[in-house]
Amino acid sequence: MSLPSGAITAIVIAMIAGIVIPVGLLLLVRKKAGSAWMAFVWGCLVMLVFAMSLESVVHMAVYETPVGQTIWGNTFLYALYGGLMAGLFEETGRFLAFKIPMKNMMENDGNALGYAAGHGGFEAFSLLFFTMMNNLTYAMVMQHPDKMAQVYELATPEQAEQIRQVYELLSVTPATTYLVSIAERCGAILLQFGLTMFVWFAVKKGGKKIWYFPLAILLHAFVDGSMVLINKLTGSVAVTEIYIWVMAIVVDVLAYFLWKKEQGRIVKDQAPTKETNHKAIL
């Protein structure tokens, strides 16, 4: 049992992409949007703490209960629960980041883009780099039957069965699947940019537009939940990935119009009146 060279190459490409994507995003938002590098850092930290840590702990606790088993066994409930949890934890993390540690960074809207780059970029790094590195480790062992035998020899029966399942899955996974994961992450990052702008202006407007915050939660929940249902109904990775991109573009377009609208209001509010012009002349 071994992996073809094409699959190993695709794994390596995806692993490299896990580094290139976040670094490229950081450089882009700093150059084009004038974002502070700390905005990127806060995006990374919120993804780590709220999505990958706190949300995971809640999932583990819920799935141990009878309710959790019911959710796990029902696709619709699983989509609804998973979508809502992702929306609640990630958007709440965004909201708190803008409200507390980033409160002195709100004047520059480029920092919203910097935050989004960190939020989505760190997720891409975690899912692409670490996952693919793990796959590559298994793949290297699979190339040497004697090493595989040693692994099985040192493992418990339960561990040996888990390892066998991983080997079997890797051996039947097409190389294109690893490359598609790159496109999937890019679509998810686009979505993060759009959602970030909704929460950004919910905080920036001093509570006047607070409803942007629950709207971001609902948008996030809808996209994630419906993605699960579409994947289940179609069984097609291609259809699911196309859907992710379409929804990311839709949310980004809405966020763009929101940004233009709020920018217009800021300019209007700051425009000098005739009275202030007269005083300035005097």
Cβ atoms of residues 66 and 139 within 8 Å:
no
Looking at residue 268, its pLDDT comes to: 55
Q: What's the mean per-residue pLDDT of the chain?
A: 90
For 132-157, the pLDDT digits (tens) are: 999 998 888 877 778 778 877 777 88
User: What is the rounded average pLDDT of the residues 215-227?
Assistant: 97
Label residue 44 by pLDDT band (50, 70, 90).
Answer: very high
For 55-67, the pLDDT digits (tens) are: 999 999 999 999 9
Label residue 282 by pLDDT band (50, 70, 90).
Answer: very low
User: What is the rounded average pLDDT of the residues 105-126?
Assistant: 96
Q: For the chain, how long is the longest CA-to-CA vector? A: 89
Q: Is 94 exposed, middle or buried (0-12, 13-18, 19+ CB in 10 A)?
A: buried
Of 1-5, 28-32, 214-218, 231-235, where does mean pLDDT reach its minimum? 1-5
User: What is the rounded average pLDDT of the residues 206-227?
Assistant: 94
Looking at residue 110, its pLDDT comes to: 95
For 193, residues 6+ apart whose C-beta sits below 8 A from its C-beta are 113, 116, 117, 120, 252, 255
Looking at residue 94, its pLDDT comes to: 98
Looking at residue 163, its pLDDT comes to: 83
User: Percent of the chain having pLDDT more than 90?
Assistant: 71
Q: What φ, ψ does residue 93 adopt, rounded to 5°?
A: -60, -40
On the question of pLDDT at 231 being above 90, the answer is yes
On the question of pLDDT at 86 being above 70, the answer is yes
Looking at residue 99, its pLDDT comes to: 95
Q: Where are the domains of the chain?
A: 5-269
More confident residue, 147 or 119: 119
For 166-199, the pLDDT digits (tens) are: 888 888 889 999 999 999 999 999 999 999 999 9
Label residue 272 by pLDDT band (50, 70, 90).
Answer: low
Q: What is the dihedral of CA 257, 259, 218, 102, to 10 degrees?
A: 170
Q: What is the pTM of this model?
A: 0.88
Of 5-9, 85-89, 145-149, where does mean pLDDT reach its minimum? 145-149
Looking at residue 182, its pLDDT comes to: 96
Query: Tokens standing for 226?
Result: 């419906």
Q: How far apart are CA 31 and CA 116, in angstroms?
A: 15
